[in-house]
């Protein structure tokens, strides 16, 4: 009975379970062919730059895999090939800008990036001449980001713990709402807020600390959100297991819930740090920028890497462009190292399941 129904829908090729398949090397051959066709088409239409050629090739690849699949293998396999090729093309489209950005930055940044660049400031350097460095900016970034993390991480962590473990009713809803709103605050607005509150109303002067406060405002919602998600991932069974042993709730959170989630929380905090390390708007407003070394974040103008890049780019000459690229490379490396450290910690602290 059911056999008859199935037989009607499946075209017979000898056996009903066997259907013609494209050979395994077919997609690779197709890639080569579409690249060649893309290049040819681009040249023929007079659009010779590699990006346009690549787009043509991608288009040819998608259409050709669908058509070939439809002819040889039938409808369902063809749609499968269409989806697969779309996923690959989109993946490449996403990766190309990233790789080209890293390539460009490394390529241009390495011309002046050396020990001297990392160990010297711009004090007394003629801006149109080569020389000088970003030491003062690196110090500024480290201090401002460090202070911001010192402010934002404890507040963010405790807020997330409140929301997940204790928060009920209106207060929790209100906190969640305002955290969401804070996530969307543009950095310049955070900077203006600290400017009007700390500098204009309270009368303090420009300092790294003022910038750090603005950065903390930007960082806090990210820490809350990521920590919240990580704490929610901890199964309730573990909390119950601990409570059933007669462990008080606060100790359960401290000794069972947080250690279980610590890997994810660290990753979240590091990502938040990476996000604020690249902020320049609040720094322009609150830290003012300096060419010399100022190790004290609580007094006087400082610089920071994003600000330094902006400043050097503004100067508009060969030497300053080189310095800007080098500083950009330092900033990317800083963020990348942070990410690697976070991954390391996450792996090291992850719940163990090995035997």
Partner 1 sequence: MAKRIDVSGLTAYYGSHKAIEDISMTVEPRSVTAFIGPSGCGKSTFLRTLNRMHEVTSGGRVEGKVMLDDENLYGSGVDPVSVRRTVGMVFQRPNPFPTMSIFENVAAGLKLNGSYKKSELEGVVEKSLKGANLWNEVKDRLNKPGAGLSGGQQQRLCIARAIAVEPDVLLMDEPCSALDPISTLAIEDLIGELKERFTIVIVTHNMQQAARVSDRTAFFNLAGVGQPGKLIEIDETERIFSNPSVQATEDYISGRFG
Residue 17: CB atoms within 10 A of its CB come to 7
Q: Is 187 exposed, middle or buried (0-12, 13-18, 19+ CB in 10 A)?
A: buried
Q: Give the residue, chosen from 241, 315, 337, 340, that forms a contact with partner 1 under the rule CB under 8 A.
A: 241
Per CB under 8 A, contacts with partner 1 among 136-175 are: 168
Q: Could you say whether residue 256 binds partner 1 (CB under 8 A)?
A: yes
Stretch that binds partner 1, among 14-22, 41-49, 198-206, 240-248 (CB under 8 A): 240-248
Q: Is 202 exposed, middle or buried (0-12, 13-18, 19+ CB in 10 A)?
A: exposed
Residues in binding contact with partner 1, number by CB under 8 A:
26
- Comparison of 20 and 248: residue with beta carbon closer to partner 1: 248
Three-class secondary structure of residue 300 per DSSP: strand
Q: Give the residue, chosen from 105, 141, 242, 303, that forms a contact with partner 1 under the rule CB under 8 A.
A: 242
Rounded CA separation 7/270 (Å): 58
Stretch that binds partner 1, among 155-163, 193-201, 207-215, 345-353 (CB under 8 A): 345-353
Stretch that binds partner 1, among 24-32, 80-88, 219-227, 253-261 (CB under 8 A): 253-261
State the nearest-atom distance from the C-beta of 353 to partner 1, in Å: 5
- Comparison of 167 and 306: residue with beta carbon closer to partner 1: 167
Q: What tokens appear for 294 in the block?
A: 């100022």
CA neighbor of 77 nearest in space, from 19, 26, 6: 19
State the nearest-atom distance from the C-beta of 206 to partner 1, in Å: 45
The CA-atom distances, in angstroms, between 54 and each of 36, 40, 68, 178 are 10, 11, 20, 45
Q: Could you say whether residue 245 binds partner 1 (CB under 8 A)?
A: yes
Residues shown for the chain: 355
Q: Give the residue, chosen from 121, 141, 260, 322, that forms a contact with partner 1 under the rule CB under 8 A.
A: 260
Rounded CA separation 185/200 (Å): 21
State the nearest-atom distance from the C-beta of 293 to partner 1, in Å: 43
Q: Give the residue, chosen from 20, 235, 316, 344, that forms a contact with partner 1 under the rule CB under 8 A.
A: 235
State the nearest-atom distance from the C-beta of 263 to partner 1, in Å: 10
Q: Give the residue, chosen from 240, 296, 314, 337, that forms a contact with partner 1 under the rule CB under 8 A.
A: 240
CA neighbor of 291 nearest in space, from 121, 135, 117: 121
Terminal Cα-to-Cα distance of the chain (whole angstroms): 51
Q: Could you say whether residue 280 binds partner 1 (CB under 8 A)?
A: no
Q: Could you say whether residue 244 binds partner 1 (CB under 8 A)?
A: yes
Q: What tokens appear for 248 in the block?
A: 């008080």
Task: Please report how many Cα atoms fall inside a 13 Å half-sphere around the Cα of residue 148, on the Cβ side.
Answer: 35
Q: What tokens appear for 331 in the block?
A: 């900033």
Q: Could you say whether residue 246 binds partner 1 (CB under 8 A)?
A: yes
Stretch that binds partner 1, among 113-121, 140-148, 200-208, 235-243 (CB under 8 A): 235-243
Rounded CA separation 216/265 (Å): 17
Q: Could you say whether residue 123 binds partner 1 (CB under 8 A)?
A: no
Rounded CA separation 44/60 (Å): 15
- Comparison of 37 and 243: residue with beta carbon closer to partner 1: 243
Place of tokens 């969307």: 184
Q: Which residues bind partner 1 (CB under 8 A)?
A: 168, 235, 237-248, 251-252, 255-256, 259-260, 349, 351-355
């Amino acid at each position: 009975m059911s056999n008859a129904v199935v037989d009607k829908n499946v075209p017979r090729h000898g056996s009903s379970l066997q259907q013609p398949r494209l050979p395994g090397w077919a997609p690779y051959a197709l890639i080569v062919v579409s690249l060649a066709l893309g290049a040819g088409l681009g040249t023929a239409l007079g659009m010779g730059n590699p990006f346009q050629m690549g787009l043509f090739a991608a288009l040819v690849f998608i259409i050709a895999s669908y058509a070939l699949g439809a002819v040889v293998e039938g409808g369902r396999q063809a749609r499968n090939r269409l989806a697969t090729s779309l996923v690959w093309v989109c993946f490449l489209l996403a990766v190309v800008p990233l790789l080209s950005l890293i390539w460009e930055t490394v390529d241009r940044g390495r011309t002046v990036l050396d020990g001297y660049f990392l160990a010297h400031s711009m004090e007394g350097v003629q801006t149109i001449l080569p020389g000088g460095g970003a030491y003062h900016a690196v110090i500024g970034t480290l201090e401002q980001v460090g202070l911001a993390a010192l402010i934002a991480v404890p507040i963010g962590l405790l807020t997330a713990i409140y929301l997940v473990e204790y928060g009920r009713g209106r207060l929790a809803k209100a906190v969640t709402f305002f955290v969401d709103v804070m996530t969307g605050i543009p950095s310049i607005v955070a900077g203006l807020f600290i400017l009007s509150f700390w500098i204009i109303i309270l009368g303090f002067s420009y300092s790294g600390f003022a910038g750090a406060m603005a950065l903390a405002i930007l960082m806090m919602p990210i820490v809350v959100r990521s920590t919240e998600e990580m704490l929610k991932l901890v199964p309730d069974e573990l909390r119950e297991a601990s409570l059933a042993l007669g462990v008080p709730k606060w100790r359960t959170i401290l000794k069972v819930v947080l250690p279980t989630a610590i890997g994810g929380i660290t990753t979240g905090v590091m990502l938040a740090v990476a996000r604020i390390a690249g902020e320049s708007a609040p720094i322009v407003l609150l830290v003012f920028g300096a060419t010399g070394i100022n190790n004290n974040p609580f007094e006087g103008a400082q610089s920071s890497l994003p600000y330094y890049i902006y400043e050097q780019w503004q100067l508009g000459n060969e030497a300053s462009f080189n310095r800007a690229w080098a500083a950009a490379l330092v900033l990317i490396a800083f963020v990348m190292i942070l990410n690697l450290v976070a991954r390391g910690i996450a792996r090291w602290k992850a719940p163990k399941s090995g035997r």
